[in-house]
Amino acid sequence: MNRIVRPVSGLLLRRLALASIIANVAIVVTGGAVRLTASGLGCPTWPRCTDDSYVTTPEMGVYGVIEFSNRMLTFAVGLIALATVLAVLAYRPRRRGVLTLAVAVFLGIPAQAVIGGITVLTNLNPWVVGLHFLASMAVLAAAYALWRRVDEPDAPTVAVVPSPLRTLARVTTGVTVAVLVIGTWVTGSGPHAGDHGAARNGLDPESISQVHADGVFLLIGLSVALIFAFRAVGAARATRAAVVLLAVELGQGLIGFVQYFTHVPAILVGAHMLGSCLVLLAALSVQWSTRERRPVASAPQATATEVEAVPVTA
């Protein structure tokens, strides 16, 4: 019996892909720690830490250590991504599409680092800081796609739910991204700028927070709709993914409301950043659950009472 993935090599590849997800979440959280401890300009220039040194100096104190440590973590994340690319290249048979995703994750690391450098050179401009976070989210999304793709056969994707529900899942993913973007505007309007002298984006914190909350309510409503819709068509895997998404959203929403009414304590802001990563991953899981790749030999014949499985792109 032919195997698409050899046990040892396939396991290694999956572990590296999972490690890439964890590492990219970690760098988001530690990047938040840099901002929340006002260490954003702990290393006041880039790519050097000072004009004369690539590393932190004793005179820079704890702020320099925190900022420099986050920069070093970028290299660790990059090494994991590079190891994943090399593992994909060494794997036989060569996996279609997997190499593209692995390279995308790897190239996303230096791109994200450059944006991080621009944030320092612009004295923590809040719009650039927000872009830095969103770039991390993009790399995380690519890492998740790689992790899921490793276990799939090289076959066309087929839908496992009706087309309107696939559209609803895509809309939910789009709203998730919009909520994340607006969340960066909220962050840029409030405290925890990353440095005591850093500018704010000029938006009214209360107004933009309300817009953000409205987006969250919409997202929760869409997630509830997905649960009932998936259950109605008997899509058990998609239903479970939607339930997880709703649970993560409710937890993230609770953190958001508590931090708003407690004047945005740093510890809750850090938890909210971690929650943002989890919401994105949960939304991608829902998207992935609406389609699958089936080996041609084992694809079942559709009947009049079954949901028609048609090729889709995802």
Q: For 291, phi and psi rounded to 5 degrees?
A: -145, 165
Same structural domain for residues 199 and 240? Answer: yes
Q: Return all residues near 237 (Cβ < 8 A) that are at least 6 apart.
A: 160, 289
Same structural domain for residues 141 and 170? Answer: no
Same structural domain for residues 181 and 313? Answer: yes
2, part of any domain: no
Q: What is the pLDDT of residues 202-248, one digit of tens each?
A: 899 889 989 999 999 999 999 999 999 999 999 999 999 999 999 99
214: which 2 tokens?
A: 């409205």
141, part of any domain: yes
Same structural domain for residues 209 and 288? Answer: yes
Q: State the first-to-last Cα distance of the chain, in angstroms, to the nearest integer.
A: 28
Same structural domain for residues 144 and 264? Answer: no
1, part of any domain: no
- 136 lies in which domain range? 7-151
Confidence of residue 200 (pLDDT cuts 50, 70, 90): confident
Q: Considering the entire predicted model, what is its pTM?
A: 0.85
Same structural domain for residues 111 and 175? Answer: no
Number of domains in the chain: 2
Domain finish residue from 104, 128, 151: 151
190, part of any domain: yes
263, part of any domain: yes
Q: How far apart are CA 159 and CA 122, in angstroms?
A: 46
Same structural domain for residues 161 and 141? Answer: no
Domain finish residue from 128, 151, 174: 151
Same structural domain for residues 219 and 311? Answer: yes
Q: How far apart are CA 143 and CA 78, in angstroms?
A: 12
Same structural domain for residues 253 and 133? Answer: no
Confidence of residue 300 (pLDDT cuts 50, 70, 90): very low
Kindly report which listed range (12-21, 56-65, 81-90, 148-157) carries the lowest average pLDDT score.
56-65
Same structural domain for residues 215 and 297? Answer: yes
